Structure 1
Amino acid sequence: MKEQQSFAPEFEHFYDYARQGELRFPKCESCGRFHWYPMKRCPHCRSEKIGWGQVRRNGTLFSWTVVRHAFDPAFADRLPYMVGLVEFDDAPGVRFVTNLTGADAEAVHIGMELEPVFAASNDPHPLVTFRPARAVDRA
């Protein structure tokens, strides 16, 4: 019996790059535009020539919410948690839904710079979360 994957095959490259600590999103080789989620055709020009373009690792917070109710009792021990929508200057149109870590809800604000946190590289479907970007020491 063939083992089933728990994700659509279009996501395979995203996970491959995430295991390497890279953020890459589908990018049309015909019109040059990024999109998210992975699709077999570009949603902008309908081309089938889709590659994976690397973006700078940090993004900005577009929106967020705090989840306080477990939609499944199995996740009740994870409450509360924050979910954010992250966008990237070098990938216009990409808004990536992710968990936000390492910040208090009171400190989170639209436009704040975020950096990715990559799960262990041996995970076949590594979780990519975001946290507030660390301040650069300019001393």
Structure 2
Amino acid sequence: MTVEAPVEHVMPRRDADSEPFWAAVERHSLEVPQCRDCKQLRWFPSRLCPGCWSDAADWKPLDGSGTVYSWSTVRRAPSASFRDEVPYIIGLVDLAPNVRMFTRILCDRPEQVEVGAAVKVEFQNREGGLVLPCFRVVGTEVAA
């Protein structure tokens, strides 16, 4: 007999490399590291630039606009903590050169999501004070 224990949502891990990202998200700003030497934007935050190996970087705000690169509809909850959220969409969103983020994609109906669809960042307040950047398909805004 298998007993399913309650599973909490996995919380993102904040570390020295990602702390500026999370601090910006809490201010409802989307920022990524940009190498001071070769000017390459990068995602995931890391100590060294993958282009030139420099350790000099600044954080650059993005406008939060992007396009869907790939996506999938999750119809079966991966754990009990997601049971009330299915179906939901996860995917890869292109925001800038070298910035492809894995994220939740928001819309009214799954058929509104397609490769190349325009998206815009939307910040969601989650349990425990966590703020997450999600991306909404343009034209599917939630009525206030």
The percentage of counterpart residues that share the same residue type is 31
Could you tell me which runs of 5 or more consecutive residues in structure 1 were left unpaired when the two chains were aligned: none
TM normalised by structure 2 equals: 0.79
Deviation (angstroms), 1:22:
1.6
Cα distance in 1 for residues equivalent to 2:81 and 2:30 = 30
Deviation (angstroms), 1:124:
5.4
Aligned residue for 1:33, secondary structure, equals coil
The one of 126, 131, 136 aligned to 1:131 = 136
TM normalised by structure 1 equals: 0.82
Instruction: State the 4+ residue runs in structure 1 displaced beyond 4 angstroms.
Output: none
Alignment deviations for residues 9-54 of structure 1 (CA, whole Å, 9 cap, x no partner): 3111111111222211111111000111110101111000011112
**Correspondence 1:106 to 2:105:** no
Q: 2:54 maps to what in 1? A: 47
Could you tell me which runs of 5 or more consecutive residues in structure 2 were left unpaired when the two chains were aligned: 1-11
**Could you say which structure has the higher strand fraction?**
2
Cα distance in 2 for residues equivalent to 1:18 and 1:134 = 23
Alignment deviations for residues 77-135 of structure 1 (CA, whole Å, 9 cap, x no partner): 221110021112xx201101111112311121111111111134xx7541111111248
Judge conservation of contact 1:22–1:54 (CA < 8 Å) in 2. Answer: yes
**Correspondence 1:94 to 2:99:** yes
